[in-house]
């Protein structure tokens, strides 16, 4: 069997944890399996590197930032290979340039395009455990790139797909995927199984337990994905195409505070203006989520929408440069907001879900500013300070606890 095992930052945070991971990998290896290990940077290393960069330059060139960030993962893979070697097991660490993991050129948010599997296969044939840096790639200029925060999950799934692995195990600091973030909602329930589509909604709407592109890729290539704890032996959550568990209305609640709201105020209320706004954003590769339009005074309207906080300053610059052609009186932004979503493939045919969610928010005295729905989610934009209270209230209202 070929197994890809990915361990996140907290699972390799210190010497004890590194040896814990080394032993768990060696267990698999000693059963005769081929073992490929993907690691994140130790603990909060990536946050530390970003802070360091900003001390030197508040707006660091993206290429140089990636050059810095990739060092975090190289530390953990090298130390892991040393740990395994000290336990008497042959292991080799490889970075993205050595593998090679080819990505698009977008520094900071590169997409994996192709993986050369020969080197890894060769090392596996020599009966070595292969330890690969997560989160990083190489672009067409032979520069290092990174895949976006949390991107090591995607490295693992991509390797599992390229190597036709039997399973891709994502080890983290909780025991699987829960009905809500177990750190915010202590009585959240662990899901035995979750479908790719629901998991994709969870991941895209803020449940950072899996990087959303890793789920997309697992679905595309049919990779069997399991989320489990590196610290306990509890059974984890299986992510797969269809789940045999009886469909419940709602599978969970997620929150995302990494968004900001932008309002383009007082534009002319005539055909084509809305198109101009969103066409401008699309051409500049800026993703927009919740959108709302309202007529405020005769002949004028306001257009509001959310973007990722990391896109906020670029988006504001772009809109302000084009303020006149957009006929806008003013463009304003607000960072203290968060998206709160309920997710469930069973909700599309049930009109009661929205009412129940808003009743719960009302009872918890949480104001909703904007709302978006799809077949399998309802999202409300709320004040960032209300997130925890809102999440618990909605989780309770849908009886999601054990
Ligand atoms: P890693 O460093 O292992 O990649 P992450 O911090 O990226 O770990 O993801 C794990 C965290 O995701 C958990 O500690 C938990 O707080 C959070 N999380 C958010 N939503 C969920 C959820 N629905 N189920 C499980 N964990 C969740
Ligand atoms: N180390 C990277 C991050 O902190 C990648 C990851 O952990 O998946 O975002
Ligand atoms: Mg992660």
Reduced to 3 states, what is the DSSP secondary structure of residue 248?
coil
pLDDT band at residue 373 using 50, 70 and 90 as cut-offs:
confident
Task: Name the CA dihedral angle for 68, 71, 72, 77, rounded to a multiple of 10 degrees.
Answer: 170
Task: Report helix angle 352-363 to 387-397, nearest 10.
Answer: 130
The rounded mean pLDDT for the chain is 95
Q: Does 305 contact ligand 1 (Cβ within 6 A)? A: no
Q: Is the CB of 63 under 6 A from ligand 1?
A: no
Ligand 2 binding residues, C-beta < 6 A = 8-9, 40-41, 46, 72, 134-135, 149-152
Instruction: State in Å: Cα 203 to ligand 1 middle.
Output: 10
Q: Does the beta carbon of 47 lie inside 6 Å of ligand 1?
A: no
Q: Which residue, judged by its Cα, is nearest atom 4 of ligand 2?
A: 46
Q: Is 174 in the pocket of ligand 1 (CB under 6 A)?
A: yes
Whether 237 and 228 have beta carbons less than 8 Å apart is answered as yes
The pLDDT assigned to 145 comes to 98
Q: Which of 44, 151, 154, 159 to mutate to test the pocket of ligand 2 (most atoms within 8 A of CB)?
A: 151
List, as one string, the DSSP characters of 155-172.
HHHHHHHHTT-SEEEEEE
Determine the 3-state secondary structure of 88 from DSSP: coil
How far does the centroid of ligand 2 lie from the alpha carbon of residue 41, in Å?
A: 6
Residue 181 is predicted with a pLDDT of 97
Establish whether residue 177 lines the binding site of ligand 1, counting it when its CB lies within 6 angstroms of any ligand atom: yes
Q: How far is the CA of 149 from the centre of ligand 3 (A)?
A: 8
Q: Which tokens sit at 220?
A: 């595309």
40 C-alpha to ligand 2 centroid (Å): 6
In this structure, the residue with its CA closest to atom 4 of ligand 1 is 8
pLDDT at 243 over 70: no
pLDDT at 242: 77
- pLDDT confidence bin for 247, thresholds 50/70/90: low
Nearest to 377 by CA among 176, 206, 140: 206
Structure tokens at 191: 């899901």
Residues 277-303: tens digit of each pLDDT: 999 999 998 989 889 999 888 999 999
Query: What letter does residue 41 receive in the DSSP assignment?
Result: P
Question: Is the minimum distance from the CB of 10 to ligand 1 under 6 angstroms?
Answer: yes
**Do residues 156 and 214 lie in contact, with contact meaning Cβ atoms separated by under 8 Å?**
yes
- CA of 150, closest atom in ligand 2: 8
Q: Provide the pLDDT for residue 244.
A: 62
Comparing 322 with 247, the larger pLDDT belongs to 322
Predicted pLDDT of residue 60:
94
pLDDT of residue 369: 87
Q: Is the dihedral of CA 228, 230, 231, 234 positive or negative?
A: positive
Q: What is the DSSP letter of 40?
A: P
| Residue 135 alpha carbon to ligand 3 centre in Å | 10
Burial grade of 32 (CB within 10 A; 0-12, 13-18, 19 or more)? exposed
Ligand 1 atom closest to Cα of residue 230: 3
For residue 233, CA distances in Å to 28, 171, 175, 350 come to 14, 11, 9, 38
The better pLDDT of the pair 375, 64 is held by: 64
pLDDT in tens, 157-216: 999 999 999 999 999 999 999 999 999 999 999 999 999 999 999 999 999 999 999 999
> Could you tell me what percent of the chain has a pLDDT over 70?
98
For range 304-312, the mean pLDDT: 94
Q: Is the CB of 180 within 6 Å of ligand 1? A: yes
| The pLDDT of residue 302 | 95
* pLDDT at position 6: 98
Q: What is the CA radius of gyration of the chain?
A: 23
Torsions phi, psi for 331 (to 5 deg): -125, 125
Retrieve residue 38's tokens. 């993907």
**Is 178 near ligand 1, meaning CB less than 6 Å away?**
yes
Once rounded to an integer, what is the mean pLDDT over residues 64-74?
A: 98
- On whether the CB atoms of residues 77 and 156 are closer than 8 A, the answer is no
Per-residue pLDDT, 349: 67
Mean pLDDT to the nearest integer, 339-348: 86
Out of 11-20, 137-146, 339-348, 384-393, least confident range: 339-348
Q: For residue 329, what are the CA distances in angstroms to 131, 132, 243, 278?
A: 55, 52, 50, 17
pLDDT for position 372: 86
Nearest ligand to the CA atom of 170: 1
Is residue 249 pLDDT above 80, yes or no?
Answer: no
Q: Whose CA is nearest to atom 5 of ligand 2?
A: 150
Nearest CA to ligand 2 atom 6: 150
Nearest CA owner, ligand 2 atom 9: 149
How many CA atoms does the CB half-sphere of 396 hold within 13 Å? 14
Residue 250 has pLDDT above 90, yes or no: no
Given a cut of 90, is residue 336 above it in pLDDT?
yes
Give pLDDT tens digits for 87-116.
Answer: 999 999 999 999 999 999 999 999 999 999
Query: Which ligand 2 atom is nearest residue 135's CA?
Result: 5
Q: Which two tokens stand for residue 143?
A: 């520069």
pLDDT, residue 64, reads 98
Dihedral sign for Cα 242, 244, 248, 250, please: negative
| Percent of the chain residues past pLDDT 90, beyond the cut | 87
Nearest CA to ligand 1 atom 11: 209
């Amino acid at each position: 069997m070929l197994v890809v095992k990915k361990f996140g930052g907290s699972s390799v945070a210190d010497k004890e944890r590194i040896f814990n991971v080394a032993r768990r990998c060696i267990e698999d290896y000693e059963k005769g399996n081929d073992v490929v290990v993907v690691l994140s940077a130790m603990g909060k290393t990536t946050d530390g590197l970003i802070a360091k960069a900003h001390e030197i330059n508040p707006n660091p060139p993206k290429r140089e930032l990636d050059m810095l960030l990739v060092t975090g993962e190289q530390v953990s893979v090298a130390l892991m290979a040393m740990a395994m070697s000290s336990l008497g097991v042959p292991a080799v660490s490889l970075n993205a340039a050595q593998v090679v993991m080819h990505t698009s050129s977008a520094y900071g948010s590169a997409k994996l395009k192709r993986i050369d599997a020969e080197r890894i296969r060769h090392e596996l044939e020599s009966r070595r455990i292969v330890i690969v840096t997560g989160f990083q790639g190489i672009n067409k200029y032979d520069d290092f790139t990174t895949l976006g925060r949390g991107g090591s999950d995607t490295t693992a799934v991509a390797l599992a797909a390229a190597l036709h692995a039997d399973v891709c195990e994502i080890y983290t600091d909780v025991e699987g995927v829960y009905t809500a973030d177990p750190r915010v909602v202590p009585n959240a329930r662990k899901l035995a199984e979750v479908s790719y589509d629901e998991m994709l909604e969870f991941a895209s709407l803020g449940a950072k337990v899996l990087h959303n592109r890793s789920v997309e890729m697992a679905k595309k290539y049919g990779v069997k994905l399991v989320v489990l704890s590196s610290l306990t032996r509890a059974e984890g959550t299986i992510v797969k195409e269809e789940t045999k568990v009886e469909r419940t209305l709602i599978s969970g609640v997620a929150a995302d505070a990494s968004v900001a709201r932008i309002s383009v105020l007082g534009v002319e209320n005539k055909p084509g203006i809305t198109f101009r706004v969103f066409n401008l954003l699309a051409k500049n590769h800026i993703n927009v989520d919740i959108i709302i339009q309202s007529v405020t005074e005769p002949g004028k309207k306001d257009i509001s929408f959310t973007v990722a906080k990391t896109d906020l300053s670029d988006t504001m610059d772009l809109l302000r440069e084009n303020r006149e052609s957009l006929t806008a009186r003013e463009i304003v932004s607000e960072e203290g907001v968060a998206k709160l979503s309920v997710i469930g493939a069973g909700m599309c045919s049930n009109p009661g879900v929205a009412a129940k969610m808003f009743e719960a928010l009302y009872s918890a005295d949480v104001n909703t500013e904007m709302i978006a729905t799809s077949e399998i989610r309802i999202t409300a934009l709320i004040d960032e300070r209300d997130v925890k209270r809102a999440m618990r209230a909605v989780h309770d209202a849908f009886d999601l606890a054990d």
